[in-house]
Structure 1
């Protein structure tokens, strides 16, 4: 049973943000404190929109941290956007962990959420829990894991796995709608919840059950605005939308998409990007053009110039020449 549909009333005053207490284990000095789940929930309760950006290495992670995004997601989409794979299912777990470590070296207040990539938990609950712990132990900055989920009536395994994580106190952000790891079973990268009332009911039911399991948040991807807004209104946890309209609690985009970091035509042509992506700049073509300029200047001996070189005292140089003469 899904329970009675209700409109979300203002949450209890007991959910007001609490003061932070510090102990002998608290960071000292000028280390910038990362946001916590409590901070994110407090912002959600206040009604302020949440921001999340996906990054894959130290450089892009530091950009995200410097932007003061609420959350930074280390997504397995790096397989296609950064590592040259054709699907997220190809990404090796060890390679993914390497990038998680790089991302967490960036300093800032953005709370780090990490994907559970394909193959990291499907073998068995024990295997999945062990890999979840491995991800958390990579860095204390890894605060939560994200798990893609199917229909709650059929995907009993993933729901069981999420229960295993939540019962162990491991924070889980669920992911519903278009789930790239399951794209083949969904018939491709298509909008979800737009074909029938039964499909919408399934998405709603899935979101409700995930909240009951203990997920503290959920990502809603490629779902009609009305559907995502309705689900958000019925839940008492934050929703993060990607291609789900403005009615969710927050938004997430991939850094390489929004900045046009790829120099391929498919990524720089806005019409070929996913509908939900807003490209704030096209840095890929700029980078390519500047690298071509560098190559040309090297070939024409226009770089480096004397201004790019280091000077040497004439007395030291003459002393060196005298030493050479003596050796000869």
Structure 2
């Protein structure tokens, strides 16, 4: 009797047991999946998440991508600016998001101060972010135009050459708001500025970046850049001509009842829902209508209770 079938079974079992690939019932979206959608003309979706709860919401919505953005500094932590966010605090939130299980591809910001000091410093922190969790698929890096920001361009080149997927962020870059004279639409009043932005996107594609985020640039400019690239563009305040869109979860769900930029669409008002619910809770407690004994309390068996009563009475 041949032993070949038996040996095949043993080897197959061996490969499964010692496979380096984690078996997970939930398949995560990959960069290749995003590129396939892009080539098929399917618009891509991306939303920020800052903790386990918001990340679960985004996963369950079947959003293509989660961005752990440094905007959490203001929307979740109460800082005045993204530049105030300590790196260690940011990493804490990245790990929280990555503890969720779901299909969305996770992209992580490199916050201000984590890469500007030197190439070695930036590369080290980029590697550290990637090592926080196997769920971190790509880094997002804010940069100026190639004409003015050779340093970040060189950093992105170094990261891409090391196999770290990079989504560059160009146009309005909040980390550089001071040098941009505030939060203003970019490449809108000068043809040279438009050309600089366009050429920057092309050069980033040449470096090996797998996508590009465009923030607060005119619709025509973003649409033109998108049409000339072979990689997907993700827009925020860049009109509908990009390959996909990203919004801040706290803005689109109105979690703080704040004013939001004109490019944000509010899909609900969670702050109103939360505050009204808490007011009702306060009312129920003060009027003693919560908790209700039959609905919200636990019971003890009658014989146990009577035994307790008799013991107390005999003391």
Common fold, TM-score beyond 0.5? Answer: yes
Residues in 2 aligned to 1:115 and 1:51: alpha-carbon distance in whole angstroms: 17
Deviations 1:158-206 (A, max 9, x none): 1111111111110000000000100111111111111111111111111
Residues in 2 aligned to 1:313 and 1:103: alpha-carbon distance in whole angstroms: 43
Residues in 2 aligned to 1:325 and 1:138: alpha-carbon distance in whole angstroms: 60
2:286: which partner in 1?
Answer: 299
3-state SS in 2 of match to 1:97 = helix
Deviations 1:256-288 (A, max 9, x none): 1111111x4xx2xxxx32011010111111101
Residues in 1 aligned to 2:184 and 2:202: alpha-carbon distance in whole angstroms: 22
Residues in 2 aligned to 1:24 and 1:151: alpha-carbon distance in whole angstroms: 44
* 1:121 matches 2:109: no
Structure 1 stretch displaced more, 288-297 or 65-74 = 288-297
Q: What displacement does 1:211 show?
A: 1.0
* 1:91 matches 2:115: no
* 1:198 matches 2:192: yes
Structure 1 stretch displaced more, 127-136 or 315-324 = 315-324
1:238: which partner in 2?
Answer: 232
1:287: which partner in 2?
Answer: 274
Q: What displacement does 1:105 show?
A: 1.2
* 1:26 matches 2:14: no
* 1:318 matches 2:313: no
Residues in 1 aligned to 2:219 and 2:147: alpha-carbon distance in whole angstroms: 23
3-state SS in 1 of match to 2:151 = helix
1:134: which partner in 2?
Answer: 128
3-state SS in 1 of match to 2:139 = strand
Residues in 1 aligned to 2:136 and 2:146: alpha-carbon distance in whole angstroms: 27
1:12: which partner in 2?
Answer: none
User: Which of these two proteins has the greater Rg computed from alpha carbons?
Assistant: 2
2:178: which partner in 1?
Answer: 184
Q: What displacement does 1:89 show?
A: 0.3
3-state SS in 1 of match to 2:53 = helix
Residues in 2 aligned to 1:321 and 1:130: alpha-carbon distance in whole angstroms: 67
3-state SS in 2 of match to 1:135 = helix
Q: What displacement does 1:324 show?
A: 3.0
Spell out the pairing of 1:1-328 with structure 2 (5 A cutoff): 24-28=19-23, 31-262=25-256, 264=257, 267=258, 272-306=259-293, 307-326=295-314, 328=315
3-state SS in 2 of match to 1:241 = strand
3-state SS in 1 of match to 2:203 = helix
3-state SS in 2 of match to 1:143 = strand
Residues in 2 aligned to 1:119 and 1:292: alpha-carbon distance in whole angstroms: 41
Residues in 2 aligned to 1:299 and 1:187: alpha-carbon distance in whole angstroms: 51
TM-score normalised by the chain length of structure 2: 0.92
Q: What displacement does 1:45 show?
A: 1.0
How many aligned residue pairs are there?
298
TM-score normalised by the chain length of structure 1: 0.88
